[in-house]
Amino acid sequence: MHEVVIVNCTVVDGRAAEGAAPLHDAAVLVRGERVAAAGPRADVLRTAPDAPRIDLGGAHLTPGLVNMHTHLSLSLPGAGGEAVKAMGPHDLALYMAGGARRTLECGVTTVRCVAEKDGADFALRRAIEAGQVAGPRLYTAGRALVSTGGHGHEGGDTLECDGADGFRRGVRSQLKAGADLIKVMISGGIAGEHERIDTPQLFGDELAAVLDTAHAWGRKVTAHAGPAAVIAAAVELGLDCVEHGYELTPQVAAAMAGQGTALVPTLLVTRCKEFFDQLGVPEWMQCRALGAGPRHLESYAMALAAGVTVMLGSDMPPFWPFEGTSATVRELEHMSEGGLGPAGALRAATLDPARWLGAEADIGTVQPGRYADLIAMDGDPLAGTAAFRGIRWVMKGGTVVRDDRATRR
């Protein structure tokens, strides 16, 4: 296995939110795909004195970001979304592969896909794992489960089900395809023309069937959900994660914290008019989304106050250029500014997602045994989350996939 030592850096990861201090004048020994040592430079160099070195020029080194709400085949209402829906399977696969490469290059080394079209995500995952396509580590729910006519039913990224038996079959169909988790739509949302955000869409026996079946197979369940009452019922049944949570209450947030139900708030989706305009999103959806923004932010604050685990997820394509940075980084800035703070934001983008995915032995920190999925920036991410706007170097599995300084030479 090849070895390389990364030097002239300060190492910091999500453990900083739990009291771990940054490691100044550090070095990281990478052996093959994984970190073999991380510590003071002199100590690490003694373990591999002859290994080639990568000098980061005083940068801050963190784990790669984990985006927990990703759609590489996103097709919102409007002209942009219709163009994606019109793609044949070959065009779609290439489109998603291009998005995966751009996602990796912007510093996102792991994604959780939460509804992708027609099984293309499974083919993309195989291609990435085989080294045929550049992209992040990919965890996927396959197609999201939805009631007939429910949220997102119009596209190939959802599977319509009805009744407890129907939803049980839906779960098994995605597990058969290779799903790492299950996504279910339990309420309306901002992108459904003939529904409201607070429209309930599953009966209790249907959701119970989803949860029981997925949990029996060792898979977690996340739910698209907006209103407090719908979320409360799902949490009581054992839901593992809520996407969006537009209309929480303090009581429901407390129940989530007590149950260990995480939240991926996707704050961007209610404050992204520029993105909507680029895609030609119709006025009815823009009004609903942007109008939900203030309440959405209040719900997020309630979750933080209750101690709910929150995790980074952009909903917008992770790589999308937005307000001077990527959608991923802009979402993380909103999370930090909304009360999480820089150290908490770093944890929400790395360690907590790794724990939710059951992958903390592989990703999420800069420690021996973890994959060498690393990013570097000149600014200090513990001083301000905007430091991630300056990501200039990306490594995945021990291979450098972006080096802005090398490009300039």
What is the per-residue pLDDT across 69-92, written as a single tens digit (0 to 9) for each? 999 999 888 999 999 999 999 999
Given a contact cutoff of 8 angstroms between Cβ atoms, the answer to whether 320 and 326 are in contact is yes
Percentage above 90 pLDDT, the chain: 90
Residue 40 pLDDT > 90: yes
CA distance 389 to 54: 22
Can you give the residue ranges of every domain in the chain?
Answer: 3-63+365-408, 65-357
Q: List, for residues 92-150, the tens digit of each pLDDT value.
A: 999 999 999 999 999 999 999 999 999 999 999 999 999 999 999 999 999 999 999 98
Q: How far apart are CA 13 and CA 63, in angstroms?
A: 6
Contact 300, 339 (CB under 8 A): yes
Average the pLDDT over 155-175 and give the result: 96
d(CA 400, CA 246): 38
CA–CA separation, 110 and 49 (whole Å): 31
Q: Would you state the pLDDT for residue 188?
A: 85
Return left, alpha or beta for 314; rule: phi > 0 is left, psi -120 to 50 is alpha, else beta: alpha
**Whole-number Å distance between alpha carbons of 6 and 13:** 16
Q: For the chain, what is the mean pLDDT?
A: 95
Average pLDDT over residues 9-30: 95
**In 3-state terms, what secondary structure has residue 135?**
coil
pLDDT at 409: 39
Rounded Cα–Cα distance for residues 382 and 324 (Å): 20
**CA atoms of 227 and 245, how far apart (whole Å):** 7
Residue 407: per-residue pLDDT: 55
Residues 6+ apart with CB under 8 A from 316: 74, 268, 269, 272, 275, 322, 327, 331
Q: pLDDT for 261-317, tens place per residue?
A: 999 999 999 999 999 999 999 999 999 899 999 999 999 999 999 999 999 999 999
> May I ask the CATH class of domain 65-357?
alpha beta
Q: What is the CATH number of domain 3-63+365-408?
A: 2.30.40.10
Residue 66 burial by Cβ neighbours in a 10 Å radius (0-12, 13-18, 19+): buried
Q: What is the mean pLDDT of residues 216-226?
A: 97
Judged against a pLDDT cut of 80, whether residue 408 lies above it is answered with: no
Can you tell me the mean pLDDT for 335-346? 98
CB 269 within 8 A of CB 190: yes
Q: What percent of the chain has pLDDT over 70?
A: 99
Phi (first) and psi of residue 102, to 5 degrees: -65, -35
Rounded average pLDDT over 4-13: 97
406 has a pLDDT exceeding 80: no
Tell me the pTM.
Answer: 0.96
